[in-house]
């Protein structure tokens, strides 16, 4: 129960906020209480399982292990600070309320991902994070950049999510269940399954897209259009770590193979270095933070390549340290933007005195990010280096990993120094749109609380962190682990590597001006161009081309395709199934009256083809309809006959009204080739229908149900007209659906007719319509047919 409450309370709060928008300030209590409960009161091993769609193995099941606990703490803790922060960040109460609602929904989805015990449930929550993230990035939806960024994030992450779902389904096939606790025990089954490679590829695609790994990272900088509290929450602390979470969750069942090691470590390290380099050349504070986040996400992925215990501890501390310092820096960036009106680092400087509390938060975060002892960031970097020296690795990556760890850490340190120094200190004063001033309490308290975490946690290793890390590492590796971390382990290789990294970072920072200038002069090899081409050129143009090919706007063409498809499918089915057509005596029941009507119908069909004018053709069609209803009447179906007759009358009127728009005579002759095609299709349609009727008569499967209707019409339906009893009672649901279809058709007709501008003369309209080859094209299409 507690788990259900933890996951769904934010959604309930969001619902309450839609009813009472002014209650937004109270929303923070939900994540805050969750955080406290998880920190103090949550018992170990909670789980709940409610069947949802048992036939396909979907259940609403949640469980909490060390990994889930770690993430749930981050989600609820940072969520509380972000909601508090945004109460001052948004000037409009309505905006604050809307933001809170989206954020709470996102929080629900995120908690759902990390606590779900069913893979398909994970997928559902995963997609909800994509959608809520879309809403949050596009929060300032009147800005085009925000809309673009939101769309980009949605396309990339939800495409990844779909790949991931396919991967999950394969896991379900291979493991025979979607329940995570059972899957976690069947790692060997998965690794030996022939589906292993597809599973791995699809799940990695999902994880890499969500966690912004190169080359799918580019949506993350685009997502910086979101309000800064959202960036803090989604794009540094929680959502982008969902991919990391997924790898950690499933790592124990999938890792241990060469493919896993090379792909995961390789992609992670490329992202680590790429992000660090690109972060250096940015000038927008949030863009710098975004790329440095990409960089650190790379580390968190690379660490999962080996599956060693060192790497798992480094991962846990890395997630924690990054959430604390990067969350803090994002909030600081938001405060600076809020106070000065700009985020361009070149325009900022010497803000320390004007924004002392914000500065304090920034310094702590920056020091932690640079990996300077004794903050939590230092511990994370130490563990990273220790993990990079793990002996179990082989091949070229075993050499490259430690080097990349040092280089990447140096870049991180340089970026951290640059952020803090160039905004708050530096030699030149700020040149900003607004005069800088300290942010309100609710905005500077967040960075300070997070900073306090970075400072205090390393000194409370034994009582607090060791337990959490041990639990999380046990969950990641599926082996009971007992981790004892030490801030200082004596002079060893990791410490030397860390020292080199910090000094190198300081060096890069000191010569940053030429370095940045050099980097900015280089071309950025950004895959966003591919994305732009794909989704803004190739896809729309391709769709347009295809639409023009298929949607000619000519009703005649559509009918031709539909009828031809009908002929082909009927013929193929009868041919391939070798269906007997002559099994029944179909001609036995023929009356001479029926024969006469049928002959008349055939003569009428010919007359319709031969009619010289449109009006003549319409009249002939009307007569055909009347003959058809006569046929129904002869077969003893008065209801059908009557309805058919009425339909004919109304159709005739409609024809006459539409006829008004068309030239009277078929003035221009139709090409012979077109006539031949028409004749073939017409003959084929007749043949196909005939075969269908013969096949239906000759192959009765089971008894007819019409007797049941006839027998039960009076006792159950209380009516003597069987047809009507069927329509309004026995099959009433069908009728209900049909009248809705009728309404949709009527609305469609109205909309199409009103599409035409009222003041536009008819001739011009038709001309334009024909040129475009689209639209309702009633006139243009039929005219063209004869030209």
Partner 1 sequence: MTRSVFFKFLARLMMPVLLLFSLVLLLRGHNQPGGGFVGGLVGASSIVLMTLAYGADDVRARLRIDFLRAMFYGVGIALVAGLIGLIFGDAFQDAFWWKPYIQGVGRLEAGTPLLFDVGVYVVVFSVTCSIVMSMAEEGERDDVG
Residues of this chain that interact with partner 1 (CB under 8 A) are 638-639, 642-643, 646-647, 649-650, 653-654, 657-658, 660-661, 717-721, 723-725, 727-729, 732-733, 735-736, 739-740, 742-743, 745-747, 749-750, 753-754, 756, 758, 761-762
Report, in Å, the least distance between residue 709 CB and partner 1: 14
Nearer to partner 1, 143 or 762 (CB): 762
DSSP reduced 3-state for 613? strand
Token pair recorded at residue 750: 């109205």
380: exposed, middle or buried (C-beta count within 10 Å: 0-12, 13-18, 19+)? buried
Report, in Å, the least distance between residue 658 CB and partner 1: 6
Q: In what helix (H) or strand (E) does residue 48 lie, and over which residues does it extend?
A: strand 47-53
DSSP reduced 3-state for 630? helix
Report, in Å, the least distance between residue 723 CB and partner 1: 7
Report, in Å, the least distance between residue 746 CB and partner 1: 4
Q: In what helix (H) or strand (E) does residue 53 lie, and over which residues does it extend?
A: strand 47-53
Report, in Å, the least distance between residue 689 CB and partner 1: 24
Q: How far apart are CA 220 and CA 156, in angstroms?
A: 10
Nearer to partner 1, 460 or 747 (CB): 747
Report, in Å, the least distance between residue 768 CB and partner 1: 16
Question: What is the DSSP secondary-structure string of 645-680?
Answer: HHHHHHHHHHHHHHHTTS-SB--SPPPHHHHHHHHH
Whether residue 292 contacts residue 46, with contact meaning beta carbons closer than 8 Å, is answered with no
Cβ neighbours for 339, distance < 8 A, ≥ 6 positions apart: 354, 355, 358, 434, 436, 437, 438, 439
Report, in Å, the least distance between residue 107 CB and partner 1: 37
Q: In what helix (H) or strand (E) does residue 50 lie, and over which residues does it extend?
A: strand 47-53
Nearer to partner 1, 619 or 723 (CB): 723
256-295 burial code (b ≥16 CB/10 A, e <16): eeeebbebbbbbbbbbbbbbbbbbbbbebbbbbbbbbbbb
Nearer to partner 1, 452 or 728 (CB): 728
Nearer to partner 1, 513 or 660 (CB): 660
Nearer to partner 1, 598 or 746 (CB): 746
Beta carbons within 10 angstroms of residue 16's beta carbon:
17
Report, in Å, the least distance between residue 304 CB and partner 1: 52
Nearer to partner 1, 496 or 743 (CB): 743
Nearer to partner 1, 462 or 658 (CB): 658
Report, in Å, the least distance between residue 468 CB and partner 1: 53
750: exposed, middle or buried (C-beta count within 10 Å: 0-12, 13-18, 19+)? exposed
Tokens 């059908």 — which residue? Answer: 640
Question: What is the DSSP secondary-structure string of 178-213?
Answer: -BHHHHHT-HHHHHHSTTHHHHHHHHHHHHHHHTT-
DSSP reduced 3-state for 49? strand
Nearer to partner 1, 257 or 750 (CB): 750
Q: CA geometry: angle at 718 spanning 712 and 719, to 5°?
A: 90
| Residue 458 dihedral angles phi and psi, to the nearest 5° | -60, -25
In terms of DSSP H, where are the helices of 116-257?
A: 119-137, 144-175, 180-184, 187-192, 196-210, 219-222, 228-232, 241-254
Nearer to partner 1, 565 or 744 (CB): 744
Nearer to partner 1, 538 or 746 (CB): 746
Report, in Å, the least distance between residue 716 CB and partner 1: 8
Cα dist. 67→64, 251, 468, 628 in Å?
A: 8, 12, 9, 72
Nearer to partner 1, 568 or 747 (CB): 747
Cα dist. 307→92, 251, 310, 777 in Å?
A: 48, 7, 8, 63
Q: In what helix (H) or strand (E) does residue 544 lie, and over which residues does it extend?
A: helix 539-550
Nearer to partner 1, 188 or 738 (CB): 738
Report, in Å, the least distance between residue 10 CB and partner 1: 34
- CA torsion 278-283-286-288 (nearest 10°) is 30
Whether residue 387 contacts residue 307, with contact meaning beta carbons closer than 8 Å, is answered with no
Q: How far apart are CA 77 and CA 81, in angstroms?
A: 7
Report, in Å, the least distance between residue 748 CB and partner 1: 10
Report, in Å, the least distance between residue 53 CB and partner 1: 22
Report, in Å, the least distance between residue 652 CB and partner 1: 10
Whether residue 590 contacts residue 631, with contact meaning beta carbons closer than 8 Å, is answered with no
Nearer to partner 1, 276 or 778 (CB): 778
């Amino acid at each position: 129960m507690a788990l259900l409450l933890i996951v769904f309370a934010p959604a309930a709060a969001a619902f309450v906020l839609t009813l009472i928008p002014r209650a937004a300030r109270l929303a923070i209590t939900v994540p805050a209480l969750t955080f406290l409960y998880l920190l103090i009161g949550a018992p170990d091993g909670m789980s709940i399982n409610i069947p949802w769609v048992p036939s396909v193995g979907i259940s609403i099941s949640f469980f909490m292990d060390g990994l889930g606990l770690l993430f749930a703490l981050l989600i609820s803790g940072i969520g509380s600070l972000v909601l508090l922060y945004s109460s001052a960040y948004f000037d409009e109460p309505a905006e604050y309320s809307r933001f809170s609602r989206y954020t709470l929904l996102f929080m629900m989805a995120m908690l759902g991902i990390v606590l779900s015990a069913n893979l398909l449930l994970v997928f559902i929550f995963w997609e909800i994070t994509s959608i809520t993230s879309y809403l949050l990035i596009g929060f300032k939806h009147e800005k085009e950049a925000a809309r673009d960024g939101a769309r980009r994030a949605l396309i990339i992450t939800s495409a990844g999510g779909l790949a991931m779902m396919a991967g999950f389904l394969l896991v379900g096939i291979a493991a025979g269940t979607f329940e995570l606790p059972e899957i976690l025990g069947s790692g060997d089954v998965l690794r030996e399954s022939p589906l292993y490679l597809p599973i791995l590829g699809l799940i990695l695609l999902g994880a890499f897209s969500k966690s912004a790994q190169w080359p799918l990272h580019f949506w993350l900088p685009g997502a910086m259009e979101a309000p800064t509290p959202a960036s803090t929450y989604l794009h540094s602390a929680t959502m982008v770590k969902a991919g990391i979470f997924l790898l950690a969750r499933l790592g124990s069942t999938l890792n241990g193979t060469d493919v896993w090691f090379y792909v995961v470590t390789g992609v992670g390290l490329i992202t680590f270095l790429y992000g660090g380099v690109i972060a250096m050349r940015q000038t927008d504070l949030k863009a710098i933070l975004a790329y440095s986040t990409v960089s650190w996400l790379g580390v968190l992925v690379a660490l999962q390549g080996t599956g060693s215990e060192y790497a798992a501890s480094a991962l846990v501390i890395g997630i924690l340290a990054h959430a604390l310092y990067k969350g803090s820096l994002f909030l600081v960036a938001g405060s600076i933007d809020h106070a000065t009106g700009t985020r361009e680092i070149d325009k900022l400087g010497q803000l320390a005195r004007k924004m002392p509390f914000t500065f304090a938060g920034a310094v702590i975060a920056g020091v932690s990010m640079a990996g300077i002892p004794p903050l939590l960031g230092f511990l994370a970097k130490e563990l990273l280096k220790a993990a990079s020296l793990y002996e179990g690795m082989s091949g070229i990556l075993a050499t490259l990993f430690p080097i990349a760890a040092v280089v990447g850490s140096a870049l991180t340190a340089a970026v951290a120094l640059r952020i803090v120094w160039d905004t708050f200190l530096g030699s030149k004063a700020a040149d900003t749109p607004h005069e800088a001033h300290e942010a309100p309490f609710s905005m500077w308290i967040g960075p300070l609380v997070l900073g306090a975490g970075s400072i205090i946690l390393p000194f409370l290793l034994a009582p607090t962190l060791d337990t959490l890390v041990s639990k999380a590492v046990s969950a990641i590796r599926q082996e009971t682990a007992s981790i004892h971390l030490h801030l200082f382990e004596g002079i060893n290789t990791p410490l030397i590597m860390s020292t080199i990294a910090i000094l190198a970072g300081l060096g890069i920072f000191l010569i940053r001006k030429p370095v940045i200038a050099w980097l900015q002069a280089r071309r950025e090899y950004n895959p966003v161009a591919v994305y732009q081409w794909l989704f803004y050129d190739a896809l729309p143009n391709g769709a347009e081309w295809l639409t023009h090919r298929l949607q000619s706007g000519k009703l005649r063409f559509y009918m031709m395709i539909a009828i031809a498809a009908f002929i082909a499918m009927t013929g193929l089915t009868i041919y391939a199934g070798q269906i007997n057509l002559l099994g029944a005596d179909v001609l036995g029941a023929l009356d001479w009256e029926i024969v006469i009507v049928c002959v008349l119908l055939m003569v009428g069909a010919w007359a319709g083809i031969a009619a010289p004018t449109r009006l003549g053709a319409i009249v002939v069609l009307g007569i055909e309809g009347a003959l058809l209803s006569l046929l129904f009447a002869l077969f003893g179906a008065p209801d059908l006959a009557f309805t058919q007759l009425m339909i004919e009358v109304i159709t005739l009127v409609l024809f006459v009204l539409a006829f008004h728009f068309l030239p009277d005579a078929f003035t221009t002759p139709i090409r012979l080739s077109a006539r031949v095609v028409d004749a073939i299709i017409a003959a084929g349609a007749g043949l196909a229908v005939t075969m269908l009727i013969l096949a239906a008569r000759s192959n009765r499967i089971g008894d007819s149900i019409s007797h049941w209707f006839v027998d039960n019409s009076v006792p159950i339906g209380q009516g003597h007209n069987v047809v009507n009893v069927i329509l309004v009672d026995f099959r009433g649901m069908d009728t209900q659906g049909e009248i809705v279809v009728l309404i949709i058709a009527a609305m469609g007709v109205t909309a199409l007719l009103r599409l035409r501008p009222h003041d536009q003369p008819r001739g011009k309209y038709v001309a334009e319509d024909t040129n475009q080859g689209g639209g309702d094209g009633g006139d243009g299409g039929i005219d063209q047919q004869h030209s």
